[in-house]
Amino acid sequence: MTDVISLTGVVKTFGRGPSAARALDGLDLAVAPGEVHGLLGPNGAGKSTTLRILLSLLRPDAGEVRLFGRDAWRDAVALHRRLAYVPGDVALWPDLSGGQVLAMLSKLRGRTADGKGTDAKRTADLLERFDLDPGKKGRAYSKGNRQKVMLVAAFASETELLVLDEPTSGLDPLMEAEFRACLAEEKARGRTVLLSSHILAEVEEVCDRVSIVRRGRIAESGTLAELRHLTRTLVSAELARLPEGFDGLPGLHEVRVAELGAGGGDSLGGGVRLECAVDTEHLSALMVALGTQGVRTMTTRPPTLEELFLRHYADPERAIAKAESEPSAA
């Protein structure tokens, strides 16, 4: 089955000479039909540049970009009828009302705007859900309301692909929740979505797969289950004592042990509280060791998407800082 989105070896550099900045450095990305794919990365990682190249707003210096199996640059006009795009910072025509903008976008996609078509019915429902007054002029809308106009236009369309770049920027928490509900509905309908976001909970809730962008490349890509398989499980337990030889158990990290005094709020009196992270392949050995020491409570959980994200961005920087702070062997 042909991927809806396929980027292979994409390179994009801004500027020339020594001051040139390489925004994308051989980026590869694939999004399958019906998939909700999250694109994660901090500012400057290359997310927006990737989307602009995908939409033919920028031309890559090298690499291949395909939408629905066709060249995204050469066939841009035809392909754009099959997708809806929501930018992170929406600019509307100041003298057009929100309703006029929605009607115009619907006509551009070849849909009806007479109040009887599918787009019109869905638009009316979405306007109510997002609490948006379509009668106001573009100049009178706040940032959040401008964002709502484009979200309503995208969700009301019958396009096969949604490309969303920081789509909840400017929305309040209630509207963010409504956005996630709409996205879940689109996922159930089988629509393909590429979602670029810095709101990790948003991506974690709705995305089938996640790609983490770092320095213009995909650092890691996969389902949340696949990504978590490569990380550590977080363990918290209260037990009578630590097992003998605990310090020698393999795969333990960030170990914290606190004694529980008889008068310190521990109703059972005494014991220790253990918190640690353990490599997945060593989890069973830790469970066996702790199980022999009078476990009172124990919880384990996989890392959140935020913890996975920080792993890719914080850990390398800490390693570099540590190396720079240590004296040279020479």
The tokens describing 74, both together, are 């050469």
Confidence class for position 330, pLDDT limits 50, 70, 90: very low
Which pLDDT belongs to residue 9? 95
How far is it, in rounded angstroms, from Cα 188 to Cα 277? 35
Residue pLDDT, tens place only, 206-228 = 899 999 998 899 988 998 888 87
Residue 71 sits at φ, ψ, to 5 deg, of -65, 120
Mean pLDDT of 203-208: 86
pLDDT classification of 204: cutoffs 50, 70, 90: confident
Domains and CATH numbers, the chain: 5-228 (3.40.50.300), 232-301 (3.30.70)
pLDDT, tens only, 80-93: 989 999 998 899 99
Give the pLDDT mean for 225-246.
Answer: 85
C-alpha torsion angle, residues 149, 151, 154, 155 (rounded to 10): -120
Residues in the chain, how many? 330
pTM: 0.77
Determine the pLDDT at residue 287: 92
Tens digits of residue pLDDT in 4-45: 999 999 999 998 888 888 999 999 999 999 999 999 888 788
Q: What one-letter code names the amino acid at 6?
A: S
Please give the angle made by the CA atoms of 257, 258 and 262, to the nearest 5 degrees: 145
How would you classify the pairing of strands 83-86 and 161-165?
Answer: parallel
